C-alpha cells in the first residue's frame, strides 16, 4: 500500500508530545511490514533531516497560498519524509503551533490548511510527486483534519478519478482546531459544508470536526478512549457526532519504539539495566539525585513526573498530595512545561524543599530518559488520557506507574493491589486527590516490601508494548476505509 502519513510533528525532528513519538514509530513499523510510507510534515525552522534527498517538486500557488515546495528525504527507518516549505509559513522561531512567547500563530488556519490540502492532493491523480499517489491518506489530529474534507471534495468534483481513502486519528479530542468561520473562504470550504453537518462547531469552523465528518474511518489511540469520547463526560461536545460515526470509529493502542526506549540499550543513560540485572537502575537513581541536587539517599522513594504541565495531566493533584509525600520522606522530580500558575507552584515547592523536590521547566529528551530510569515510581494522575506513552516507558524501565483510571492508562497498566500476581503499577480509584493519595500509599507500602516491588517491576518490564500488532490493526482500518471510499465515489457518481 502507498500510505501518506500526514502530521504536524515527528520525532526526533520536532516533538511537543506523544504524537511526535507515534509519527516516528508507526510509519517505520508500517514500512517494515512492506508498505511504502511517506510522512508529510512542515519543514520548521532549524529542522535537520539526514537521509537520501530526492528531487524537490514545486507546488503552484493555490487560493491564499503562494508557491510551495515538497522535498522527499528517504531516512534510515525506510520511510520517506516529505518536507513541506512555503514562504514564511513554517520557518519561524517558536514551536510548531505557538510562537516564542507561547501564543498560537495568528495564521494557523492557513499554515495547517496547506498541510491538509497537500496531503489530499497526494491522494489524487494530480499528486505532485512524480509517479507516487497515496492509496490512503492518514491524517493526524486537527492540524490535518481538513485532508479528509479536501479528498471528499475531489470525489464530488471528479467522481471518475480514483482518490485515496482517508483515515483520521484523534490523539487528543481537547485540541479541536477552531477558527473563525470567515476562514472557510480562503480555505476553499464549499458553502454546503459549512453547516452543522459539515465543519461548524458552536458557530466556528473546527478542523477536527471536518476530519471526523469526512474521513472514511476514524481512530483514536486506545480502546477505552474510543468508548469514553462517545459519552458527554469526555466527549467535549463531539460525543454526538462520534456516536453517529461509531461504526467507523475504533481505538488502537499506541506502542513503544524499542530502538528509543529500552533500558538495556538506551544510549542516553549513564548506566544500563535489564529485568534480570537491575544494578544499573540503582546507579541511575543516584545519578539523577546528584544531577538535580536531591539528597543522595537510596532509601528515599523517588516519584517522577515527565509531562506537559496542564490541567489534563492532573499536576494539581500531585501538588495537593505533596505535603503528605514529603513528610513520609519521599522525593519528587518533575520535568515539563506549560501552564504558568502550575509551573510557579512547582517552582515554589522546589525552592522550599530543595533536597526533596526538583523541578526542571523545559523540554529535555535526555533528562526524560534518565528520570524514567532513575525514579522508583512514575505519576500520571491524568483527568483524561487518550493513550499516554510515559506509563508504558516507565513499565519498560522498571518504574511502576501510578495512573488515573482513564483512557489508555486503563488499557496498559494492571493494578498490583487488585492483581498481585500480574500487577505492573497502581490504578487510582478515581481521577481525584483522594484517589491519588490512596494509590500513593499503596505504592509506598509495596516499595517497602522488596520482594513484592521486584515482582511489580519484573511484570512491567516483561510487558510487550510493540508497535507491530497495532500497525497491523491500522492496516485493517486502511482496508476498511478503502471500501468505504469506494462507496463514497459510487454515491458521487
Ligand atoms: P502527551 O502527548 O499528551 O503530551 P504522552 O504521554 O503521550 O502525552 O507523550 C508525551 C511524550 O513527550 C513522552 O515521550 C514524554 O517523555 C515527552 N515529554 C513530555 N514533556 C517532556 C519534557 N518536558 N521533556 C522531555 N520529554 C517530554
Ligand atoms: C496525545 C495524548 C496522549 C497520546 C498521544 C499520542 O497527545 O494526550 O495521551 O499518547 O497523543 O497518541
Backbone CA torsion sign across 148, 151, 155, 160 = negative
For 205-243, write each residue's pLDDT tens digit.
999 999 999 999 999 999 999 999 999 999 999 999 999
pLDDT at 395 over 90: yes
User: Sign of torsion, CA 108 42 142 403?
Assistant: negative
The predicted-structure confidence for 20-35, as pLDDT tens digits, reads as follows: 999 999 999 999 999 9
- What lies within 8 Å, CB to CB, of 491 at 6+ separation is none
The 10s digit of each residue's pLDDT in 127-178 is: 999 889 999 999 999 999 999 999 999 999 998 999 999 999 999 999 999 9
pLDDT of 391 strictly over 80 = yes
Q: Which CATH superfamily is domain 2-255+469-492 in?
A: Glycogen Phosphorylase B; (3.40.50.2000)
CB 228 near ligand 2, within 6 Å:
no
Mean pLDDT of 384-389: 98
- Structural element, H or E, at residue 368: helix 365-374
Q: Looking at residue 130, what is its pLDDT?
A: 84
Mean pLDDT for the chain overall? 96
* Interval between CA 305 and ligand 2 midpoint (Å): 16
Q: How far is Cα of residue 98 from the mean position of the Cα atoms in its chain?
A: 17
Q: Which ligand is nearest to the CA of 19?
A: 2
pLDDT at 59 exceeding the cut of 80: yes
Q: Residues with Cβ within 6 A of ligand 1? A: 17-18, 21, 306-308, 335-337, 363-365, 368, 387-390
CA distances for 344 relative to 117, 278, 317, angstroms: 40, 35, 15
Distance (Å, whole) CA 191 – CA 185:
9
Q: Is the predicted pLDDT of residue 14 greater than 80, yes or no?
A: yes
Q: Which of 20, 172, 306, 390 to mutate to test the pocket of ligand 2 (most atoms within 8 A of CB)?
A: 172
Question: What pLDDT shows up at residue 487?
Answer: 79
* Residues linked to residue 304 through DSSP beta bridges, in sequence order: 333, 378
Q: Torsion angle of alpha carbons 445, 451, 453, 456, nearest 10°?
A: -130
Q: How confident is the model at residue 451 (pLDDT cuts 50, 70, 90)?
A: very high
- The angle formed by the CA atoms of residues 481, 483 and 487, to the nearest 5 degrees, is 110
**Which residue from 306, 367, 387 has its CB within 8 A of the most atoms of ligand 1, so it is best to mutate?**
306
DSSP structure class, residue 201? E
Q: Is the pLDDT of residue 384 over 70?
A: yes
Domain assignments of the chain as residue spans, ordered by start: 2-255+469-492, 279-462
Does the pLDDT value for residue 360 go beyond 80?
yes
Cα 93 vs. chain centroid, distance in angstroms? 22
What is the position in ligand 1's atom list of the atom closest to the CA of 390? 6
Question: What percentage of the chain has pLDDT greater than the value 90?
Answer: 96
Assigned C-alpha cell, 64: 491564499
Mutate to test the pocket of ligand 1, among 304, 368, 396 (most ligand atoms within 8 A of CB): 368
In this prediction, residue 492 carries a pLDDT of 67
**The length of the chain, given as a count of residues:** 493
Give distance in angstroms: CA of 252 to centre of ligand 2. 12
- Residue 12's pLDDT is what? 95
281-299 pLDDT, tens digit each = 999 999 999 999 999 999 9
What's the CA gap between 7 and 78, in Å, rounded? 17
Average pLDDT over residues 433-457: 98
| Nearest alpha-carbon partner for 315 in 284, 346, 289, 294 | 346
- C-beta separation of 168 from 148 below 8 A: yes
Grid cell 484523534 in the structure block, residue: 170
* DSSP labels, 44-56: -TT----SEE---
Asked if 470 contacts 405 with a C-beta cutoff of 8 angstroms, the reply is: no
| Best residue among 97, 304, 305, 308 to mutate for probing ligand 1, ranked by most atoms within 8 Å of CB | 308
Q: Provide the angle, in degrees to the nearest 10, between the axes of the packed helices 108-122 and 207-214.
A: 20
**Mutual angle of helices 146-157 and 468-492, in 10-degree steps:** 30
What was the pLDDT predicted at 157? 93
Give phi and psi for 37, each to the nearest 5: -110, 125
Dist. CA 44 → ligand 2 center (Å): 21
Smallest-distance ligand from the CA of 391: 1
Ligand 2 centroid from CA 420, angstroms: 28
The full DSSP string for 37-100 is EEEEEE--TT----SEE---EEE--BTTB--EEEEEEE-TTSPEEEEEEETTTS--SS-SSB-T
Query: CB neighbours of 450 closer than 8 A, spacing ≥ 6?
Result: none
pLDDT band at 490 (very low <50, low <70, confident <90, very high): confident
Number of helices (H), then strands (E), belonging to the chain: the values are: 17, 19
User: Collapsing DSSP states into helix, strand and coil, what is residue 225?
Assistant: helix
CB-based contacts of 227, cutoff 8 Å, min separation 6:
251
Could you identify the atom of ligand 2 that is nearest to the CA of residue 389? 10
Alpha carbons within 13 angstroms on the beta-carbon side of residue 219 total 23
Please check the confidence at residue 491 and state whether its pLDDT lies above 80. Answer: no
Atom of ligand 2 nearest to the CA of 171: 11
Distance between Cα 191 and ligand 2 center (Å): 33
Q: Is 115 in the pocket of ligand 2 (CB under 6 A)?
A: no
d(CA 302, CA 358): 11
Same fold, 2-255+469-492 and 279-462: yes
395 within 8 A of 461, measured Cβ to Cβ: yes
Q: How many degrees, rounded to 5, is the angle at CA 105 between CA 100 and CA 106? A: 140
279-462 CATH: 3.40.50.2000
Burial call 380-412: b when 16+ CB within 10 Å, e when fewer: bbbbbbbbbbbbbbbbbbbbbbbbbbbbbbbbb
Cβ atoms of 8 and 141 closer than 8 Å:
yes
Amino acid at each position: 500500500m502507498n500510505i501518506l502519513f500526514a502530521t504536524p510533528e515527528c520525532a526526533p525532528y520536532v516533538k511537543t508530545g506523544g504524537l511526535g513519538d507515534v509519527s516516528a514509530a508507526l510509519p517505520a513499523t508500517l514500512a517494515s511490514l512492506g508498505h511504502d510510507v511517506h510522512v508529510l510534515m512542515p519543514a520548521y525552522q532549524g529542522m535537520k533531516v539526514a537521509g537520501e534527498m530526492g528531487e524537490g517538486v514545486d507546488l503552484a500557488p493555490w487560493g491564499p497560498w503562494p508557491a510551495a515546495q515538497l522535498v522527499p528525504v528517504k531516512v534510515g527507518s525506510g520511510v520517506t519524509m516529505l518536507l513541506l516549505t512555503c514562504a514564511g509559513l513554517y520557518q519561524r522561531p517558536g514551536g510548531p503551533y505557538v510562537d516564542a512567547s507561547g501564543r498560537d500563530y495568528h495564521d494557523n488556519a492557513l499554515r495547517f490548511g496547506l498541510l491538509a490540502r497537500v496531503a489530499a492532493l497526494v491522494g489524487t491523480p494530480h499528486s505532485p510527486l512524480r509517479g507516487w499517489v497515496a492509496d490512503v491518506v492518514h491524517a493526524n489530529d486537527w492540524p490535518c483534519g481538513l485532508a479528509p474534507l479536501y479528498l471528499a471534495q475531489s470525489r464530488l468534483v471528479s467522481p471518475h478519478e480514483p482518490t485515496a481513502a482517508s483515515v483520521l486519528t484523534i490523539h487528543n479530542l481537547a485540541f479541536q482546531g477552531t477558527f473563525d468561520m470567515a476562514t472557510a473562504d480562503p480555505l476553499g470550504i464549499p458553502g454546503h459544508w459549512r453547516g452543522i453537518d459539515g465543519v461548524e462547531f458552536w458557530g466556528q469552523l473546527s478542523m477536527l470536526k471536518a476530519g471526523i465528518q469526512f474521513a472514511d474511518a476514524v481512530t483514536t489511540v486506545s480502546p477505552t478512549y474510543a468508548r469514553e469520547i462517545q459519552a458527554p463526560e469526555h466527549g467535549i461536545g463531539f460525543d454526538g457526532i462520534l456516536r453517529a460515526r461509531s461504526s467507523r470509529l475504533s481505538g488502537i493502542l499506541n506502542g513503544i519504539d524499542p530502538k528509543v526506549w529500552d533500558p538495556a540499550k538506551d544510549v542516553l543513560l549513564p548506566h544500563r539495566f535489564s529485568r534480570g540485572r537491575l544494578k544499573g537502575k540503582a546507579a541511575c537513581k543516584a545519578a539523577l539525585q546528584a544531577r538535580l541536587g536531591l539528597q543522595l539517599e537510596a532509601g528515599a522513594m523517588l516519584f517522577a513526573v515527565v509531562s506537559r504541565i496542564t490541567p489534563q495531566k492532573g499536576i494539581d493533584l500531585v501538588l495537593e498530595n505533596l505535603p503528605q509525600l514529603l513528610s513520609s520522606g519521599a522525593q519528587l522530580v518533575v520535568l515539563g512545561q506549560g501552564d504558568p500558575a502550575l509551573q510557579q507552584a512547582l517552582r515554589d515547592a522546589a525552592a522550599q524543599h530543595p533536597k526533596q523536590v526538583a523541578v526542571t521547566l523545559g523540554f529535555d529528551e535526555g533528562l526524560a530518559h534518565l528520570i524514567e530510569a532513575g525514579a522508583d515510581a512514575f505519576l500520571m494522575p491524568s483527568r483524561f488520557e487518550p493513550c499516554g506513552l510515559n506509563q508504558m516507558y516507565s513499565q519498560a524501565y522498571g518504574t511502576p506507574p501510578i495512573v488515573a483510571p482513564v483512557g489508555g492508562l486503563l488499557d496498559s497498566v494492571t493494578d498490583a493491589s487488585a492483581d498481585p500476581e500480574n500487577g505492573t503499577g497502581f490504578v487510582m480509584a478515581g481521577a481525584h486527590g483522594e484517589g491519588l493519595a490512596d494509590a500513593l500509599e499503596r505504592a509506598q507500602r509495596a516499595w517497602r516490601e522488596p520482594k513484592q516491588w521486584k515482582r511489580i517491576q519484573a511484570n512491567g518490564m516483561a510487558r510487550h508494548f510493540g508497535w507491530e500488532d497495532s500497525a497491523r490493526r491500522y492496516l485493517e482500518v486502511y482496508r476498511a476505509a478503502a471500501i468505504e471510499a469506494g462507496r463514497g465515489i459510487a454515491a458521487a457518481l
